[in-house]
Structure 1
Amino acid sequence: MRVVKWVFVLAVMLVALVGCGQQGGQQEGQGGEGSEKGLVPREEINIEFVTHASPDPFWSVVQNGVNQAAEDMGVEVNYRELDSYDIPQLQRNLEAAIAAEPDGMVVSIPDPDALNDKIREATESGIPVVVINAGENDWRDVGALTYVGQTEYDAGVAAGERMAQAGVQSAICINHEQGNITLDQRCNGFEKGLGGQVKQVAVQPDPTAARNGIKTALRQNPDVDGLLTLNPGIADQALRALEESGRSGDVTFATFDLSPSVLRAVSRGEMLFATDQQQWLQGYLPIVLLTNYIQYGVRPVNTEIPTGPAFITKENAEQVIELSRQGIR
């Protein structure tokens, strides 16, 4: 099944490249024979991108993917982000996006109870929707075309298995956004994969508060030999917390997602691995999918598109560092 899904992903990217080729010779990717065909010219397509994104390295890569896809496809995309993780603000952003009557929407569903009804309102009104990043279990329920992202529980299981193979028996999973179902799934899967004792610890996303919270967790759990964080910013604080606690040498540490600092730490052997959900594709592919659906009426049928997990280790970290600096990995 995964082979079939990845064949589909490759086909989607081929369509994107063909679209770029059709626009060759036109200024800024606009116009060209490809944009004139179908039900609506591409330059008239407007897409709202409404997720729980807030300013951080992970989501900046997603936005880079969005920007590249908008340029390649020759469409307009309105990218809406949050000041910080805030479900009421996300609900307001969804309402504003729906009121704009876009040709398509990209959304994430970190809190199904708070968001599903509003997203379903959009699809029932005729707005095609692609779900990304969070909402793997809900995209069908809200009437979306597909889901593009990582299978979070499975990614957590795989991370736990890798930790277990490294000899970890007891670990802490740091959750920096309580209530975000995606992060809950990662920690739950990690516990399953490790097969040992996992304590889930909630910290605030503020860097200083996160670092202090991790130091407290390490002090209160002196016997743990593993630590997992769920994004690069918190990973940076965990590295400092381990050093300041004198635990760097005896705690095996890994994280979800990439940044230049995380990759350097993996390359130096300070971290066992970083999971890579290839978030650039989570920004890029939905714009390609929606553009082709709006213009040509074609879409994936009853399938999701997994972008992860892949794993970056000491052996391949150097290959990825330059792309991370460029905002692609």
Structure 2
Amino acid sequence: MALLPRVLAYAVAATSLVGAAQAQDDDERRIVMVTHGQAADPFWSVVKKGAEDAADEVGADLEYRAPTNFDVARMQQLVEAAIASEPDALILSLVDPDALGDLAQEAADSGLPVIVINTGGHVADEYGADIFIGSDPKLAGKRAAERMIEDGAEKGLCINQEQGNVALDLRCEGFEEGFDGNAEQLATGSDPTEIRNSLVAYLNQNSDVDALLSLGPLATDPIIDEMREQGALEQFHFGTFDLSPTILEALVAEEIDFAIDQQPYLQGYQGVVTANQSAKHLLMPATDLLTGPAFVTPETAEEVQELTEKGVR
């Protein structure tokens, strides 16, 4: 009988140890995601939703950080602050490898899982990243050109609202390659009025252009509005990257030909899931995860419209 209290004591101690281990295992892993995405861009709101949904599901503490406007210097500061805060994992868009690559390498050298999403997949492994999750921008641009040429296009124009953003530059590069050099690039700022005025001025000087590729809603939405006002949408083969209500409406109305969807929800969602599994279980996929390019056309636009209301497309 004298042994019973001791046995109970051991049982209680063992239970306490198991409970402590369980509590430690259940502690939320803190994941910081730093992107170049602007708050006004519908694309990045979908990335963020995917990341937040994943964090809720896996029990991670997610901190999403981004500059107010496209600003590589500000993004550098955000990445530096993220590393200094010693998170359990870092997710970032490698929008300018020259400016951000060394920081990614610093994070990797410190033992952090480093997940690159959306931009910089072509050099992510050179800067210590464990994996890239996103689309192949050059391939997407090339396929856009090929679709337009198949439909009869002869001269292309790629409208780049963030020249210096490596992903956007690669999209235009692929587009020009797909046109076998018979395409040019128009660099604009991100202000809608500037985009509209720059495009109108260019087209007035280059009447042989019959195919337009814009690189996201920030540029595409004002271009669609301008071309509608001029009754000129049907005069061009017109494709864009990414989705917005305006883009989907134009697709449903068959005013534009396609939108290239890189599935931003998956970029955010899989980024957090992958970072969490690496921090928690030391698990990492052996290859990059490509989320695009996928094409949304007038035939599929209505179905995609319904999914955008849920914030996943």
TM-score (norm 2): 0.90
Task: List structure 1 runs of 4+ shifted beyond 6 angstroms.
Answer: none
Confirm or deny that 1:170 pairs with 2:139. no
CA distance in 2, matches of 1:77, 1:317: 32
Alignment CA distance shift 1:42-1:142 (3 Å):
farther
Aligned to 2:73: 88
Tell me by how many angstroms 1:41 deviates.
2.4
Larger Cα Rg: Structure 1 or Structure 2?
2
Q: Partners of 1:191 and 1:317 in 2: how far apart?
A: 27
1:247 paired to 2:242:
no
- How far does residue 247 in structure 1 lie from its aligned partner after superposition? 2.6
1:174-213, aligned counterparts within 5 Å? Answer: 174-195=159-180, 197-213=182-198
Amino acid of the structure 2 residue aligned with 1:263: L
Percentage of pairs with the same residue:
43
For 1:246 and 1:75, how far apart are their aligned partners in 2?
50
Counterparts of 1:40 and 1:308 in 2: how far apart (Å)?
Answer: 37
1:325 to 273, 295, 309: 309
Distance (Å, rounded) in 2 between the aligned partners of 1:214 and 1:239: 11
Counterpart residue type for residue 64 of structure 2: Y
Q: Give 1:281 shift.
A: 0.4
Q: What's the CA shift for 1:42?
A: 4.4
| 1:75 corresponding residue in structure 2 | 60
SS at match of 2:235: coil
Report the equivalent of 2:139: 154
Q: Please give the per-residue CA displacement for 1:70-97, whole angstroms capped at 9, x wherever unaligned.
A: 1001110100011110010000000100
1:58 maps to which of 24, 40, 43: 43
The corresponding residue for 2:33 is 49
Residue segments in structure 2 that go unaligned for 5+ positions in a row? 1-20
Q: Distance in 1 between matches of 2:280 and 2:25?
A: 7
Q: 1:119 aligns with which of 104, 116, 123?
A: 104
Deviations 1:175-223 (A, max 9, x none): 0001111111001101122335111001110111111111112112111
TM-aligned CA deviation for residue 117 of structure 1: 0.6
Counterpart of 2:252 in structure 1 is 267
Q: 1:101 Cα shift?
A: 0.2
What is the TM-score when the length of structure 1 is the normalising length?
0.86
Can you list the C-alpha shifts for 1:40-83, whole angstroms capped at 9, x where unaligned?
A: 52433000001111111010000000110010011101000111
Tell me what 1:305 maps to.
289
SS at match of 1:299: coil
Secondary structure in 2 matching 1:140: helix
Q: Does the 8 Å CA contact 1:128/1:144 hold for their aligned counterparts?
A: yes
Query: Take 1:245 and 1:109, find their aligned partners in 2: how far apart are those partners?
Result: 38
Query: What CA distance in whole angstroms lies between the structure 2 residues aligned with 1:53 and 1:232?
Result: 12
Residues 1:159 and 1:102: Cα distance change in structure 2 (over 3 Å): same
Deviations 1:117-158 (A, max 9, x none): 111011101111100001111211111110000011111111
- AA paired with 2:180? G
* Pair 1:78–1:133, CA change in 2 (3 A): same
Q: Which residue is 1:281 aligned to?
A: 266
Give CA-to-partner distance per residue, 1:232-254, whole Å, 9 cap, x none.
12111111232344432311111
Q: Which has the larger displacement, 153-162 or 194-203?
A: 194-203
Give yes or no for the alignment of 1:132 onto 2:140: no
Paired positions, count = 293
CA RMSD of aligned residues (A): 1.6
What are structure 1's unaligned runs of at least 5 residues? Answer: 1-35
Contact 1:48–1:102 (8 Å) recurs in 2: yes
Secondary structure of the residue aligned to 1:311 is strand
Is the 1:43–1:76 contact (alpha carbons within 8 Å) kept by the matching residues of 2?
A: no
